[in-house]
Structure 1
Amino acid sequence: MLTGLPKLDSIQMYNFSDYDLIIDARCQREYEEDHIPGAVNMPVVNNDEYAEVGTLHRTDKMGAYRIGVAYSLRNIARYLEEEMLQYSRKSRILVYCFRGGKRSKLWIDALETIGYRVDKLEGGWKGYRRWVNAQLASVPTEYHYHVLSGPTGCGKTRLLYALEDAGAQVLDLEDIAVHRGSVLGEVPGQKQPSQKYFDSLLLRKFSAFDPKKPIWVEAESKKIGNVQLPDALLESMRKGQTIVIETDMAQRVLLWREDYRHFEEDPFSMLERLVFLKPLVGNKEFAAWEALAEEKAMPQLFEQLMRNHYDPTYRRSILRNYPEIDASPVIPLHDLSPSGLSIVAKTLCGQFR
């Protein structure tokens, strides 16, 4: 069994990609909160079975194990018949549960009996989680960052996509967080990851980066929706090269109309999310927003929101986190189309190495 997984370079990343299959033997609820990215949930007991065994364990330990093993053998048999047929004898398999104990052993015994090559993650998910926390306290400091700054709607995220297409290393934190980073940032139809799974996804992203090359990233606050960025990452970003993006208001309004189409179709749902701002912006300003929403004058409403709330709020935030921001190079964006941004991205890659 594994006492330590293969590691990559100086940043000591577990190389989970060495495995053809990673089995998470925990119940669905545990898996949904966090798991090794790419792991497949094949629980030996499901949520209800796990709860039943846990309840019985308090009064009848042996009886709980009897029922748990019975459930496990039936569940594993089903996975062997339905899921494992696609994996050959040569496949490398990693198995883990909460601590690397009984649930892992049940899976490993079955797979080894069949003839698969199987490793167990010593310490299980709990050990993995300790490792993730330790890595996120150090790994981000191994890199140099180019930080894109600019008010909402200026095209920072689209420029990140263009930079990635141009071959740059890009860390799109809002993509990992499944959130655009403001009170309006919830992505329709998509749920944010838990904090623990966000950490797992973030660390996996770092495992694909080369420490000799810079990482391009957007300036972010501590929180993106409901998840928080590691302190080591924020501190490292604030030591990086900041680059200010400037875009005229017409382009910014057009971007909002494209990215927030769901609010254009239902402007009052947007104002419902912003109602807590009324004491900050004043009743008169908020009433003006409501009047524009009533008229469905969305270009005017989006512009007024940016000018009278988002821009001054962003300015205060960026000065607090990047006090020297006004000394940064300024990149004007006149064309937010993929072709227009591609030209800018190639220039930036050559200018900032």
Structure 2
Amino acid sequence: MLVDNPALYRQLFLQDTPFIDLRAPAEFAKGAFPTSASLPLMTDDERAKVGTCYKHHGQQAAINLGHRLVSGPIKDARVQVWSGFARANPQGYLYCWRGGLRSQITQQWLQEAGIHYPRVPGGYKALRRFLIDELERLISQRDFVLLAGRTGSGKTQLLNALPGTLDLEGLANHRGSSFGARLAGQPTQIAFENALAIALLKLESTGHRQILLEDESAHIGSLMLPASLRDKMRQAPVLILETPLAERIAAIHREYVQERLAECRRHDREQPFARFSRVLQDSLFRIRKRLGGEAYQRLSACMQAALDYQSRTGDDTLHLNWIRDLLVDYYDPMYDYQLTRRPRNVLRQGSGQSIRQAWKSGCAVPIEIK
């Protein structure tokens, strides 16, 4: 399938264009774009009725039913919502599934309200097809370098402080480990792929042919990396970030305990600490088989003691005990094993400052660091 206007689509994504997504909520939930707002022409139930009518009585009957379902106060309310979005985002566009009838109707109703708002030719389907094709092209044309390091070494923070980088965990809304799930949940696989393609488009537009990204497994939480990206990552050279154990323990304490409790307070105003406790214990439970029964029971008891003490006193320092044991006895041996599984072309191994200097000195040309 040929997309209708790839130059336009590229500019829309590079400029973070706000979109009115007119598809039904169930369609939107399967996958959307980072700057899209779900402002449907029809609800799921209304769309189902129109679809059934189309199947049995044809297009015109379905159109007539759609106009009856979305009329009067219902129509007025939806036009008001679209109008508000359009006024707040005058540079935006609207689209439906294929840029057809739903887009045309909405555009006409907005014009009747005095607002001229453009629609995307080809709709969501054409935009999605464009991003699928661009994702494969961009992956094939980029040179990737991986940033590796032990758990808690600060890889994500370093990535976000450097040019020409791609934060896969940020796009996946997941920190990448058993303890990495976020309460807001992850995007769908389609939405993740859309965001990944857009991020690569932006890196290309700023002249970055070589891209630094974290050394990830095939999955980040429930999401899978594209096969073409996994293949490129398997062959990519590596920068290894080394961070002292004490700093790693402090970083994990801040991330797993302090930031996670703050996250629970934002999402659960009634019993945030109870939710925080469940999240920690559930995260540990997920790796119980790899830990082994005895180690799991010991770590779980240590974690519970820290939670009980924190609940009574507000002091969270006892968490440092199980965090240290988890790093030393589980994550570090697993990291060492993965490093020895296959030969790696290690370009630089050292502190954050060393890695930062290495990347900045060679980010515009192929790195050859000895």
TM-score, normalized by the shorter chain, greater than 0.5:
yes
Matched, 1:206 2:204: no
What is the rounded CA distance, in whole Å, between the counterparts of 1:347 and 1:19 in structure 2?
31
**CA shift digits 1:53-94 (9 cap, x unpaired):** 234444444554322123345555434434425757x95653
Kindly state the Cα deviation for residue 34 of structure 1 after the two structures are TM-superposed: 1.6
Matched, 1:52 2:49: yes
Matched, 1:351 2:361: yes
Normalised TM-score (structure 2): 0.78
Task: Give unpaired runs (5+ residues) of structure 2.
Answer: 262-272, 307-317, 364-370
What is the rounded CA distance, in whole Å, between the counterparts of 2:16 and 2:356 in structure 1?
36
Shift in alpha-carbon separation, 1:191–1:291, aligned structure 2, 3 A? closer
Matched, 1:287 2:286: no
Shift in alpha-carbon separation, 1:56–1:289, aligned structure 2, 3 A? same
**CA shift digits 1:119-157 (9 cap, x unpaired):** 4422x3233333322222221222222311011111111
Higher helix fraction (1 or 2): 2
| Corresponding residue SS for 2:4 | coil
Amino acid at match of 1:217: L
Q: Which residue of 1 aligns with 2:330?
A: 309
Contact 2:94 2:119 in 1 (8 A): yes
> Which of the numbers 255, 277, 299 marks the counterpart of 1:259?
255
**CA shift digits 1:157-199 (9 cap, x unpaired):** 1111222xxxx12211101100011121101x31200000011
Kindly state the Cα deviation for residue 258 of structure 1 after the two structures are TM-superposed: 0.2
Kindly state the Cα deviation for residue 32 of structure 1 after the two structures are TM-superposed: 2.6
Amino acid at match of 2:69: Y
Contact 2:39 2:82 in 1 (8 A): no
Normalised TM-score (structure 1): 0.81
Q: Which residue of 2 aligns with 1:330?
A: 349
Corresponding residue pairs, total: 331
> Which of the numbers 233, 243, 246 marks the counterpart of 1:247?
243
Shift in alpha-carbon separation, 1:256–1:194, aligned structure 2, 3 A? same
Kindly state the Cα deviation for residue 95 of structure 1 after the two structures are TM-superposed: 3.0
Contact 2:240 2:350 in 1 (8 A): yes
Task: Give unpaired runs (5+ residues) of structure 1.
Answer: 334-342
Q: Which residue of 1 aligns with 2:141?
A: 142
Amino acid at match of 2:77: R
Matched, 1:170 2:165: yes
What is the rounded CA distance, in whole Å, between the counterparts of 1:26 and 1:229 in structure 2?
26
Kindly state the Cα deviation for residue 16 of structure 1 after the two structures are TM-superposed: 3.9
Amino acid at match of 2:98: R
- The aligned runs of 1:1-353 (5 Å cut-off) are 4-7=4-7, 13=10, 15-16=12-13, 21-61=18-58, 63-74=61-72, 77-84=76-83, 87=86, 91=90, 94-111=93-110, 114=114, 116=116, 118-122=118-122, 124-163=123-162, 168-187=163-182, 189-210=183-204, 211-261=207-257, 269-296=279-306, 297-320=318-341, 323-325=342-344, 327-333=346-352, 347-353=357-363
Kindly state the Cα deviation for residue 206 of structure 1 after the two structures are TM-superposed: 1.3
Q: Which residue of 2 aligns with 1:336?
A: none
What is the rounded CA distance, in whole Å, between the counterparts of 2:111 and 2:3 in structure 1?
18
Kindly state the Cα deviation for residue 48 of structure 1 after the two structures are TM-superposed: 2.4
How high is the sequence identity, in percent, across the aligned residues? Answer: 25
| Corresponding residue SS for 1:247 | coil
Contact 2:172 2:192 in 1 (8 A): yes
**CA shift digits 1:11-34 (9 cap, x unpaired):** x94534569653221112212322
What is the rounded CA distance, in whole Å, between the counterparts of 1:153 and 1:116 in structure 2?
51
* Coordinate RMSD, CA, aligned: 3.1
What is the rounded CA distance, in whole Å, between the counterparts of 2:214 and 2:280 in structure 1?
24
Contact 1:98 1:125 in 2 (8 A): yes
Kindly state the Cα deviation for residue 304 of structure 1 after the two structures are TM-superposed: 1.2
Shift in alpha-carbon separation, 1:31–1:247, aligned structure 2, 3 A? same
Contact 1:245 1:332 in 2 (8 A): yes
